[in-house]
């Protein structure tokens, strides 16, 4: 494992240092709701819910790590997954002291830049300690993101995705 991830950006010419980490401020479905539905729901740093004619929708913020070949630190995505009401309530009830033996089923609720549609990929959510958001693992399917999750990405690919996030998308530097 070598040192700090860093590269000279082909987009802005600056040097970007540090492990790439990008996050979404909300689950995509919440942002697609009209203002009145959003106002009756809630969006926080870790939790989100709203109600529409189909019923209640529950989301939590989680972390997806993509290994970078030769680097100690992964490419980190801060993303949202939807949970069942039961899982959401269990997660909230254990928020101060997460139940590390729990695992929830979740649907990925963000469209990651670079990749073809990542919305509604199936995940498992694994609570960590109280100082860390849960991490997710991706269920088996034929998708580039799942391949990268399992096998990691090259430094060159990490750089390309980071440049895309830094300069061309809604994902924010975390």
Task: Out of 11, 86, 97, 172, name the contact with Zn ion by CB under 5 A.
Answer: 11
Burial class of residue 73 in the structure, from the number of CB atoms within 10 Å of its CB (0-12 exposed, 13-18 middle, 19+ buried): middle
Q: Which of 65, 7, 75, 60 has the alpha carbon at shortest distance from 30?
A: 60
Residue 112 Cβ, how far from Zn ion at the closest point, in Å? 19
Enter the tokens of residue 129: 């300690």
The values of phi and psi at residue 163, to 5°, are: -60, -40
Residue 23 Cβ, how far from Zn ion at the closest point, in Å? 18
Q: Does 9 bind Zn ion (CB under 5 A)?
A: yes
Q: Does 128 bind Zn ion (CB under 5 A)?
A: no
Do residues 68 and 97 touch, judged by C-beta distance below 8 A? no
Residue 16 Cβ, how far from Zn ion at the closest point, in Å? 6
Do residues 114 and 158 touch, judged by C-beta distance below 8 A? no
Site string for Zn ion, 154-173 (x = CB under 5 A): ------------x-------
Q: Which residue, 11 or 51, is less far from Zn ion as judged by CB?
A: 11
Q: Does 10 bind Zn ion (CB under 5 A)?
A: no
Q: Which residues bind Zn ion (CB under 5 A)?
A: 9, 11-12, 166
């Amino acid at each position: 494992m070598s040192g700090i991830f860093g590269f000279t950006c082909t987009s802005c010419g600056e040097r970007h240092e540090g492990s790439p980490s990008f996050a979404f401020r909300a689950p995509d479905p919440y942002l697609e709701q009209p203002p009145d539905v959003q106002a009756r729901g809630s969006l926080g740093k870790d939790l989100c819910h709203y109600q529409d004619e189909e019923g209640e929708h529950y989301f939590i913020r989680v972390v997806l790590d993509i290994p970078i070949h030769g680097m100690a630190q992964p490419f980190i995505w801060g993303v949202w997954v939807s949970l069942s009401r039961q899982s959401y309530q269990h997660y909230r009830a254990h928020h101060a002291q997460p139940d590390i033996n729990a695992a929830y089923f979740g649907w990925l609720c963000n469209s990651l830049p670079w990749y073809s549609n990542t919305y509604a990929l199936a995940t498992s959510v694994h609570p960590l300690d109280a100082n860390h958001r849960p991490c997710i693992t991706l269920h088996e399917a034929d998708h580039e993101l799942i391949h990268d999750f399992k096998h990691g990405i090259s430094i060159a690919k990490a750089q390309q995705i980071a440049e895309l996030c830094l300069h061309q998308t809604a994902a924010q530097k975390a």
